[in-house]
Structure 1
């Protein structure tokens, strides 16, 4: 066969694979029923402008991310003064810190800084969208996604979001949920963000399933001064239901995740099941009031503080399944035996078994996902979480 014929065949097969690529699977848990772009024909944008337009418009779409879309430098830079504190200079630390992009600096000193403008300015996502990476090639570099103002029915799958001004706090969030509903965030990777990998605002995030993602905290700029990202997940929405399943959170130092707030009358239900927390040089769960949290089948591997002491006095309602007896006690309310959580080389795991949590989740037990045995979690999650693994 001639080279031209081989090239034509290769081009055709590549085109066929790309156009047929679309969402894999369906969401379970609280975002069950989310369809994203539905039956919309998968399309590949040809420019940054087209990508932004398709993501933000009102048309149901399946948008294929088959390459790296680099926003760094596309919206200019800002040179200004940032606030430098003890967590910026990191005296005695093992990494550089993060200066703060902010208007006041009462507890530090001003330093010169320059940040990329795309990072703090995420793409607005419209309703009925599937944003899907192709293979392991889909990357959004320098700019995140924002779901707000009533956005609903969105799937974000198999994409790596990275490099949002990681040297600066407030440099950018990867995904923002603030006034939305019906969101499935699946098989993505998050790294090198200035602020949160996933954050909810004061509005409702609604029904959300966060599954099979890799939260990679390896960084040269750490608010913990230890080469591990601090700002992992901040979930403080007005009325939220989260399924958090099969995620790999590693090389982090805090907010992994933080749940709840006393600043509003919010109500958050959080089902955390079969997640792998690895090498957390700080805290994993930090849980504030207005929360109902059910934790089962999670594996904590070399985690300094699996659950913060502040959780114990915050008013949080937590059922963390610390024992076999606690697992069995789920049956009466939920109709199944919960899976206990396991620790290896980690700090103290408090015994929190609030019956009010089981009573609350009994009302939504059809939305609870099935668990695997905790002994298989580390292997299964590392093999499955992140991009290019669907």
Structure 2
């Protein structure tokens, strides 16, 4: 009886630690995930996958490391090697490409199959890490098929064939809606940390995450991961707030496309972009960006030249006057961005961004002063910090 009682106490403590922390805000405001579903921890990889993909509202606790590597076998074939694989004179190894065509030379390669096939996540799910214990290794997640109302919080996604481009994506959003991705960590990912497909990703808040690009394998040959965030959905609305994006070299993020008649609105507020040995924002057509209160520290290219020619509409609050220009559209001033030890951040004040923002002002969270951003983000973003 004493053992049973002790187990009950420990289970209750674990459950208490793993409720959803905070409330979704921005474009994901109102997302409830599993709602009142009783929190439960799966007992096996198979049960975890089943619970994630079924149609039952669930609050799923990740109270340990779930390692999918080796569970679906490995593939040995030829991969494409280019100058980004050999890395002559670089400070890291390169990434070979898993693909069918090659403009370099073919080399033998062996990769794990599990990271290349994500688990599809059903509607009305909360996936919650317990303390710092929640790790999903060697497997990504995908929300698709019209599914919605999903919370992913306090999970470390890692080890998705980091040696290879197309080794696996951590989170994929396509043909979905109402997603809150909060307080997670992403590291050692083969391709994108977060990617949206050609179909709508819908209303998404990406908040307080640690996008850690440090890696022994890099197409930039500099130990910094290139494929960070690719957001190209047909109709997407993003709140990107309080994230720490560091030690990457590109797509941080890339968004928008001229290949479809997409419409993407992106509110980036109070993020910390640090040690980026390449570019942060790279933006294509059919995209409207409001960037305020972000800190850029040691970023080679905060925003690419191609962005300025793509047709993208950007309002990046270059000075207090531009900040006060927000007031009429969204009912408050915008915060200037802070750029230090970085490349040029050209002043961009496209009026159409504020017109769009006015339509969505109820979904635009307030800012904190940009001077506080580096310290607050580094102390708050990632797992075990909620």
After TM superposition, give the deviation of residue 113 of structure 1 in Å.
0.3
SS in 1 for 2:146: strand
Indicate whether 1:111 and 2:79 are aligned. Answer: no
CA distance in 1, matches of 2:332, 2:172: 34
Of residues 285, 288, 291, the one that matches 1:289 is 285
CA distance in 1, matches of 2:121, 2:372: 36
Indicate whether 1:26 and 2:23 are aligned. Answer: yes
CA distance in 1, matches of 2:127, 2:227: 24
**Where does the alignment leave 5 or more consecutive residues of structure 1 unmatched?**
none
SS in 1 for 2:13: helix
Of residues 219, 225, 228, the one that matches 1:223 is 219
SS in 1 for 2:35: coil
Indicate whether 1:241 and 2:241 are aligned. Answer: no
Determine the structure 2 residue equivalent to 1:176: 172
The superposition leaves residues 181-218 of structure 1 with CA deviations (integer Å, 9 ceiling, x where unpaired) of 00000000000000000000000000000000000000
SS in 1 for 2:240: strand
Of residues 61, 73, 91, the one that matches 2:88 is 91
CA distance in 2, matches of 1:146, 1:17: 30
- With normalisation by structure 1, the TM-score equals 0.97
Determine the structure 1 residue equivalent to 2:272: 276
CA distance in 2, matches of 1:253, 1:247: 16
Indicate whether 1:46 and 2:61 are aligned. Answer: no
After TM superposition, give the deviation of residue 15 of structure 1 in Å.
1.4
CA distance in 1, matches of 2:192, 2:14: 31
Indicate whether 1:313 and 2:289 are aligned. Answer: no
Aligned CA RMSD, in angstroms, stands at: 1.1
**Where does the alignment leave 5 or more consecutive residues of structure 2 unmatched?**
none
Of residues 71, 74, 87, the one that matches 2:71 is 74
Determine the structure 2 residue equivalent to 1:58: 55
CA distance in 1, matches of 2:218, 2:182: 26
CA distance in 2, matches of 1:184, 1:223: 30
1:146-161 map, 5 Å: 146-161=142-157
CA distance in 2, matches of 1:341, 1:277: 11
Indicate whether 1:144 and 2:140 are aligned. Answer: yes
CA distance in 2, matches of 1:344, 1:286: 19
Determine the structure 1 residue equivalent to 2:361: 365
CA distance in 1, matches of 2:8, 2:359: 51
Instruction: Tell me the number of residue pairs that the alignment of Structure 1 and Structure 2 aligns.
Output: 385
